[in-house]
Amino acid sequence: NWVFLNDEYISADQAKISPMDRGFLFGDGIYEVIPSYDGKFVGFTPHIERLIKGLSEVEINLNYERSKWLEICERLVAKNGKGDLGVYLHVSRGTSPTRFHAYPENIAPTVFAYTFAIPPAPNANKDQVRTYRVRTLPDLRWQRCHIKSTALLGNVMHFQQGFKDGYDEVLLFSEENRLTEAAACNAFVIKSGSVATPPLDSQLLPGITRFILLDVLKKYSSLHVAERAISKEEVLNADEVWLTSSTKQIAPVIAIDNKPVGDGQVGDIWTQAQLLFSEHQFD
């Protein structure tokens, strides 16, 4: 398996990073995951725009433009045999001889990329799609969840709180009992033919799958689509609930806290949404 590390393409077992790297010591970095199906990327441009914006927000100075990222991603996918791959991109602030919290001056960011296998794109078949059972939890992460930080301990702990008891994901709620997102996905709630997802703010990641799905539904379906605050009660009474992420596309949630969502089956609006997403994801 080939990886990219600081301008070199090397095999994974040759890749070495200093333990003094701030990514390791502080989780001081930004990452991205871009799906590629048989060499075709989904949402490449918005993924790279989010990465560049995140780097500037935390003042990591890396002079890679879109074209440089495209070259890295295309070369890695080709070297690793195409297929269905997620491309993981990671930029940490770099390695500094001393551990001091302030941003060091004049250090070079560490740039790492590798690929991993992802499931084939869902084909909108209710009988074949992987379904999710989730647990609700208070969202105890920080106030900057819009930044795709490599410091994921908050998300990891939430995911584990579900996983240890056999849940596939979690749904997180703010102190005001508003839905934020899942540990590694955005969330959508469907009631009487209306599709809703929480509006973007600092409590959730601006997911690229979320963004593409909203766009596709507005353009190609007659469904009512809204970005608005969603209460826990609404989530528990929804007809359908979906999770979205780059590696899952649109994933139906069939049980929340061991109670069925709607009739406990994959819903019809999911089929419609996943079909439209499949048709237009490479636009």
Residues of the shown chain interacting with ligand PDD in the complex, contacts defined by CB under 6 A = 33, 155, 181, 184-186, 205, 207-210, 244-247
CB of 54 to ligand PDD, least distance (A): 12
Backbone angles phi, psi at 69, to 5 degrees: -65, -40
Closer by beta carbon to ligand PDD, 95 or else 115: 115
| Residues pairing with 260 in the sheet | 255
What is the edge-to-edge ordering of all strands in the sheet holding 84-92?
8-11, 2-5, 110-117, 84-92, 29-37, 40-41
Closer by beta carbon to ligand PDD, 171 or else 190: 171
- Dihedral, 39, 42, 46, 51 alpha carbons, nearest 10: -60
- What's at 126, amino acid-wise? K
148 given a catalytic annotation: yes
Task: Report how far apart, in Å, the C-alpha atoms of 72 and of each of 2, 65, 109, 111 are.
Answer: 11, 11, 16, 11
What are the residue ranges of helices labelled H in the chain? 22-26, 44-57, 66-79, 153-163, 208-220, 232-236, 268-280
- What's at 261, amino acid-wise? V
143 exposed, middle or buried (CB, 10 Å; 0-12, 13-18, 19+)? exposed
H or E segment and range at residue 65: none
CB of 198 to ligand PDD, least distance (A): 11
Compute the distance between CA of residue 215 and CA of residue 209 in angstroms, rounded to an integer.
Answer: 10
Closer by beta carbon to ligand PDD, 115 or else 209: 209
CB of 207 to ligand PDD, least distance (A): 3
CB of 141 to ligand PDD, least distance (A): 9
Closer by beta carbon to ligand PDD, 110 or else 244: 244
Task: Write the CB contacts of 61 (distance below 8 Å, at least 6 apart in sequence).
Answer: 55, 109
CB 77 within 8 A of CB 36: yes
Among the options 16, 148, 232, 259, which is catalytic? 148
CB of 186 to ligand PDD, least distance (A): 5
Closer by beta carbon to ligand PDD, 246 or else 274: 246
| Both structure tokens of 126 | 């209710």
Closer by beta carbon to ligand PDD, 92 or else 95: 92
| Both structure tokens of 280 | 């237009």
List, by residue number, the catalytic residues.
Answer: 148
